[in-house]
Amino acid sequence: MSSLSFEIVANDENGYARAGRMQLPHGLVETPVFMPVGTQATVKSLTPADLTDDIQASIILGNTYHLMLRPGADLVEKMGGLHKFMAWNRPILTDSGGFQVWSLGELRKIEAHGVRFRSHIDGREVFLGPKESMDIQRKLGSDIVMAFDECTPYPATFKEANDSMQLSMRWASECREHLPVNDTQALFGIVQGGMYPELRLESLKAISEIDFEGIAIGGLSVGEPKEEMMAMMDALAPHLPKEKPHYVMGVGTPDDLIEGIDRGIDMFDCVMPTRNARNGTLFTDDGKINIKNLKHAEDKRPIMESCNCYTCKNFSRAYLRHLYMAKEILSSRLNTLHNLHYYCDLMSRARNALVEGNWPEFRDNFLQRYRSEA
């Protein structure tokens, strides 16, 4: 029996946007959903209480590559699994490590059954393939496991993208063999194919023929223009299996999320809200705010008047600028609290619009306002 059940509760009559409910071993996830990235068993600067109480995150992401290198999957398993290790009692999705290995570039060597590379921490040789990735994610105990794949670089020729995609499809089958359908962990397959619609559709067909619990779209937001990213989602949207959750990996800005929902995407993750927060960039409905700018030095307003996060309810832009300029630790924490609250709340507002039947109006109003950047 599968560990994941998914139902659609509302959808846009004239498009692909939908709201759903995904039940996992550690709880219910209402979609569309944004998953804060907790790379090394922590969302940087935040506690689990921050994530549940203020941000109201229902699921977070952990990173197989980083956790296998430090502290090691065996240790996490010995500590009772990732949930107990980091004191997080809601669902966790772990990525397979494929993207991080891809980003090593010349430090890796692709072989038939995986990738050989050197650890960025101590230089030791490591091998990671479908079997190893499934074993590690089993030890971590995440609710959703991602198939091990090769992220197609950008730009890539048709042949390069095809060869990469075919390799990922072989590895996808191996992942399912090593992690059959079970009642504790769901496995998502990943669509690849670069910026070639025909390869994307071929990959989706291959992934759909394997009994995965969910469908992910990988290899986007890797340096391509946004128009190409959206074109790939446009090509896939009519063909994504409606009964399964759809996850676009590593995307993106607030407007990317709204555009993704409009193309049938249910799940998102990205380091942008956390990384940008630490660099002084904050997100609002009116676009981005660079808190470093001198114009905020005497500004008594919160980041965003309508935001109910702890940061906006208590602190002025002037104070947040002061913390950032003084390089205070609290700067990263307060900025991250706001950005993640904003992202998760945006998904909640999108869901409400779908349930209430006014998605097109919500989408158009949001995109017009956000892109006008006051």
- Count CA within 13 A, CB hemisphere, residue 205: 8
Per-residue confidence of the chain (374 residues) as pLDDT tens digits? 899 999 999 999 999 999 999 999 999 999 999 999 999 999 999 999 999 999 999 999 999 999 999 999 999 999 999 999 999 999 999 999 888 888 887 778 999 999 999 998 999 999 999 999 999 999 999 999 999 999 999 999 999 999 999 999 999 999 999 999 999 999 999 999 999 999 999 999 999 999 999 999 999 999 999 999 999 999 999 999 999 999 999 999 999 999 999 999 999 999 999 999 999 999 999 999 999 999 999 999 999 999 999 999 999 999 999 999 999 999 999 999 999 999 999 999 999 999 999 999 999 999 999 999 64
pLDDT value at position 187? 98
Residue 188 among known ligand-binding residues: no
Residue 219 among known ligand-binding residues: yes
Residue type, 36: P
Task: Give the C-alpha separation, 131 to 117, whole Å.
Answer: 16
Task: Give the C-alpha separation, 186 to 68, whole Å.
Answer: 20
Residue 309 among known ligand-binding residues: yes
Task: Give the C-alpha separation, 85 to 113, whole Å.
Answer: 30
Task: Give the C-alpha separation, 265 to 212, whole Å.
Answer: 16
Q: What is the helix (H) or strand (E) element at residue 108, kind and residue range?
A: strand 108-111
Dihedral angle computed from the Cα positions of residues 282, 37, 112 and 155, in that order, rounded to the nearest 10 degrees: -10
Residue with tokens 């869901």: 351
> Residues 220, 223, 224, 225: is their CA dihedral positive or negative?
positive
Residue 99 among known ligand-binding residues: yes
In 3D space, the residue among 280, 254, 236 whose CA is nearest the CA of residue 347 turns out to be 254
pLDDT value at position 356? 98
CB atoms near residue 58 (< 10 Å): 22
Q: Please provide the distance, in angstroms rounded to a whole number, between the alpha carbons at the two ends of the chain.
A: 51
Task: At 120, list the tokens.
Answer: 């960025």
CB atoms near residue 339 (< 10 Å): 27
Q: What is the helix (H) or strand (E) element at residue 310, kind and residue range?
A: helix 310-314
Q: What is the helix (H) or strand (E) element at residue 158, kind and residue range?
A: helix 158-178
Residue 218 among known ligand-binding residues: no
pLDDT value at position 374? 47
In 3D space, the residue among 94, 101, 111 whose CA is nearest the CA of residue 59 turns out to be 94
Looking at 3.40.350.10, 3.30.1370.140, 3.20.20.105, 3.30.565.10, the CATH number of the domain 5-276 comes to: 3.20.20.105
Residue 95 among known ligand-binding residues: yes
* 262 has catalytic annotation: no
Residue 344 among known ligand-binding residues: no
Task: At 50, list the tokens.
Answer: 């921050």
* 345 has catalytic annotation: no
pLDDT value at position 373? 67
Would you list the domain boundaries of the chain?
Answer: 5-276
**Which one of 12, 54, 95, 143 is the catalytic residue?**
95
Q: Find the largest Cα–Cα distance for the chain.
A: 60
Dihedral angle computed from the Cα positions of residues 232, 233, 237 and 238, in that order, rounded to the nearest 10 degrees: -30
Please, which residues have CB within 8 angstroms of residue 289's CB and are 6 or more apart in sequence?
281, 282, 283, 296, 303, 317
